[in-house]
A and B are shown apart, each in its own frame.
Chain A
């Protein structure tokens, strides 16, 4: 039976088990929306901006492990997705972004709402497609989902011209995705490589496991735990890897890098072996390369060969899936006994915990995060915006399980956390979800309050309101003689009234003693809540490594 391209589109979503689609309509995608109108099994979520649709799809993907899907119209709709697509690309998030396109006959004519979105998104997608024929819709969508979710995941854009979506043909679904000839998915490493890694571990006196987002993507958290306990090695996890190893475990030393813990940074500086698993030696982690892990051999396990030896020199490269490789290693690696290195690290960890002034009587952002942790017993899904709020969340909320910390790592996208929280809440309806935000970044996608209210989502937004763009202000304080150029944002909306204007709830908190009750109240409210915490205006994130310095130069601020 012949059906239209738009019906094929909907059928393909069903074949790919898409439950939720985030998006925004427009002229050339009306045929798609017309068919979605009757597709009651696919929950369409209308965001108020396409960027938020992409972030929501991204948050949904991170919370559930499934592929996030979004849809926008051509031209401005498509270009509004770009930040969300780039964000997903940098953090290896499986996403399929559908964009409408002007009819094939108008492409290249500067038609109304035309943009070359495949050209624009080429450097920020794992792959992209322009479908030129209705007969290719099914095979292309099948490929798009396969490519987005396999290997090192990433966003795939599918551009659908209007005449392609209105064309009529027989629907045929390829049961096996038509994989491109050159598409490679490494899984297991060769045994020689594994043997070499095992030998390096055997002779190491001071090993350090450095785990990243690859642990979470591949679901390798159990293998990592067994591996770390087998070789008795301290573990540091990147921002993207938080929750990949239990923060409550005695071997966990915190996050490394610019705002990493003193212990993690010194462990890198003093170890004789780094076992990197699914982590890519980001410049925010390594600091000045010359001072990074100066005495260590480096084993780098990664799905993406291009991630290996990109930023640091590597002694043993192991290409493959983190879970599979850790499984291989566990078969051959010998148990390693504890030694002075373990005692040294544990002692350092006890005496160098990140901390702040708890007795000032002033509301501190760290205290707010700690209280969210206490009230939610560490079980909440925490999304963040970008800046100080992100670092306070990563330092003061302890993540014991994966997919509980959702944050823009690679791109550092302000405005990410709230729409991501909407996606996470829709993907995990029973979870308590908090977006830990700054007063600057929440205003980048605050219009999504309408989406959260409409969808009746109990998302909690904890604004650490200091009336500054806090992280930039911190740099200006420390490195630019307190010349706060462009970072003071005293002209703020009344966030409580703003929440109420959208039909949400708002709670303002000024005193430390009111924090806990406010958090408890927010959780008890069945709908979106803004918690406007007016915190110490010039509180800084510590520890910190100055830009361009080696991570051995970790400044701790206050010490306990």
Chain B
């Protein structure tokens, strides 16, 4: 089972190593880990995508909570959280394929951020599923390079209407 865990930590030197070290030393899986300063500069937010059954998740949460630098740990439920990822894709193109690539990008609301003679660099944001689907469509054109950020996620306001509005705004 895949889980997205939000971890609020002290914004200090060495905290990322402590968190990633915990996962490696205890044999927990990390699919992705993102970290950045939050609205409070003294704390950072980490978003960790991990896999495991309920007992593993329980231990992951508890072990994270034990770390002195960790302020709060939340397992973000799929239905009440917003999950986003950013991906840069450099795809090979020719005069013959450029229009087709741009059309697909347009459908996915992706941005073309660099145009060369032989390639296009496209920036896409969205759910992992959306990005995966886009990548799949780009593969036949030959992806030259790709950089994914990993998932960042936050809880929605716990209000159904607000959640639906957000969904609509985000085109989901």
Enumerate chain A interface residues (CB-CB to B < 8 A): 118-119, 122-123, 126-127, 130, 147, 180-184, 304-306, 308-310
- Minimum CB–CB distance from A179 to chain B (whole Å) comes to 9
Q: In the complex, A310 Cα to B18 Cα: how many Å?
A: 20
- Minimum CB–CB distance from A79 to chain B (whole Å) comes to 17
Q: Which 3 A-B pairs have the closest CB atoms?
A: A182-B71, A306-B62, A127-B68
Count of chain B residues near A, Cβ 8 A = 24
As a 0/1 sequence over residues 46 to 84 of chain B, the CB contacts with chain A under 8 angstroms (1 = contact) are: 000000000100110011011111111000000000000
A180 touching B65 by the CB < 8 A rule? Answer: no
A184 touching B65 by the CB < 8 A rule? Answer: yes
Q: Which A residues are in CB contact (< 8 Å) with B59?
A: 306, 309-310
Q: In the complex, A118 Cα to B21 Cα: how many Å?
A: 12
Q: In the complex, A182 Cα to B64 Cα: how many Å?
A: 11
A126 touching B17 by the CB < 8 A rule? Answer: no
Q: Which A residues are in CB contact (< 8 Å) with B72?
A: 182
For B72, the closest partner residue in chain A by CB is: A182
- Minimum CB–CB distance from B16 to chain A (whole Å) comes to 11
B14 CB within 8 Å of chain A: yes
For B64, the closest partner residue in chain A by CB is: A306
Most buried by A among B22, B59, B62: B62
B21 touching A182 by the CB < 8 A rule? Answer: no
B55 touching A182 by the CB < 8 A rule? Answer: no
B10 touching A181 by the CB < 8 A rule? Answer: yes
- Minimum CB–CB distance from A118 to chain B (whole Å) comes to 6
Known: A182-B69, A182-B71, A183-B68. A118 touches B14 (CB 8 A): yes
- Minimum CB–CB distance from B92 to chain A (whole Å) comes to 40
- Minimum CB–CB distance from A283 to chain B (whole Å) comes to 15
- Minimum CB–CB distance from B26 to chain A (whole Å) comes to 9
Q: In the complex, A123 Cα to B20 Cα: how many Å?
A: 11
B169 CB within 8 Å of chain A: no
For A182, the closest partner residue in chain B by CB is: B71
B10 touching A182 by the CB < 8 A rule? Answer: yes
As a 0/1 sequence over residues 1 to 42 of chain B, the CB contacts with chain A under 8 angstroms (1 = contact) are: 000000011100110011001100100000000000000000
Q: Which B residues are in CB contact (< 8 Å) with A184?
A: 65
Most buried by B among A147, A182, A304, A310: A182
Number of A-B contacts (CB under 8 A): 47
Q: In the complex, A180 Cα to B12 Cα: how many Å?
A: 11
A119 touching B71 by the CB < 8 A rule? Answer: no
Q: In the complex, A181 Cα to B44 Cα: how many Å?
A: 13
A-B contact list, 23 entries, CB within 8 Å: A118-B14, A122-B14, A122-B18, A122-B21, A123-B21, A123-B25, A126-B68, A127-B68, A127-B69, A147-B68, A180-B68, A181-B10, A182-B10, A182-B65, A182-B70, A182-B71, A184-B65, A306-B59, A306-B62, A306-B65, A309-B55, A309-B59, A310-B59
Q: In the complex, A550 Cα to B5 Cα: how many Å?
A: 36
Known: A122-B18, A184-B65. 16 other contacts (CB 8 A): A119-B17, A123-B21, A127-B69, A147-B68, A180-B68, A180-B69, A182-B65, A182-B68, A182-B71, A183-B68, A304-B66, A305-B62, A305-B66, A306-B65, A308-B62, A310-B59
Q: Which A residues are in CB contact (< 8 Å) with B17?
A: 119, 122
B21 touching A180 by the CB < 8 A rule? Answer: no
- Minimum CB–CB distance from B117 to chain A (whole Å) comes to 42
Q: Which B residues are in CB contact (< 8 Å) with A127?
A: 68-69
Q: Which B residues are in CB contact (< 8 Å) with A309?
A: 55, 58-59
For A152, the closest partner residue in chain B by CB is: B66
Q: In the complex, A123 Cα to B18 Cα: how many Å?
A: 8
- Minimum CB–CB distance from B56 to chain A (whole Å) comes to 11
Q: In the complex, A306 Cα to B58 Cα: how many Å?
A: 8
A180 touching B63 by the CB < 8 A rule? Answer: no
- Minimum CB–CB distance from B20 to chain A (whole Å) comes to 10
- Minimum CB–CB distance from A425 to chain B (whole Å) comes to 33
- Minimum CB–CB distance from A254 to chain B (whole Å) comes to 30
Q: Which B residues are in CB contact (< 8 Å) with A130?
A: 13-14
Q: In the complex, A184 Cα to B65 Cα: how many Å?
A: 9
Q: Which A residues are in CB contact (< 8 Å) with B68?
A: 126-127, 147, 180, 182-183
Q: In the complex, A123 Cα to B69 Cα: how many Å?
A: 14
Q: Which B residues are in CB contact (< 8 Å) with A180?
A: 10, 68-69
Q: In the complex, A479 Cα to B167 Cα: how many Å?
A: 63
- Minimum CB–CB distance from B7 to chain A (whole Å) comes to 10
Q: In the complex, A183 Cα to B25 Cα: how many Å?
A: 22
- Minimum CB–CB distance from A424 to chain B (whole Å) comes to 28
Q: Which B residues are in CB contact (< 8 Å) with A183?
A: 68
Q: In the complex, A310 Cα to B9 Cα: how many Å?
A: 24
Q: Which B residues are in CB contact (< 8 Å) with A304?
A: 66
Q: In the complex, A308 Cα to B63 Cα: how many Å?
A: 11
B65 touching A305 by the CB < 8 A rule? Answer: yes
As a 0/1 sequence over residues 139 to 157 of chain B, the CB contacts with chain A under 8 angstroms (1 = contact) are: 0000000000000000000
- Minimum CB–CB distance from A85 to chain B (whole Å) comes to 15
- Minimum CB–CB distance from B8 to chain A (whole Å) comes to 8
Q: In the complex, A122 Cα to B21 Cα: how many Å?
A: 8
For A127, the closest partner residue in chain B by CB is: B68
Q: Which B residues are in CB contact (< 8 Å) with A181?
A: 10, 43, 71
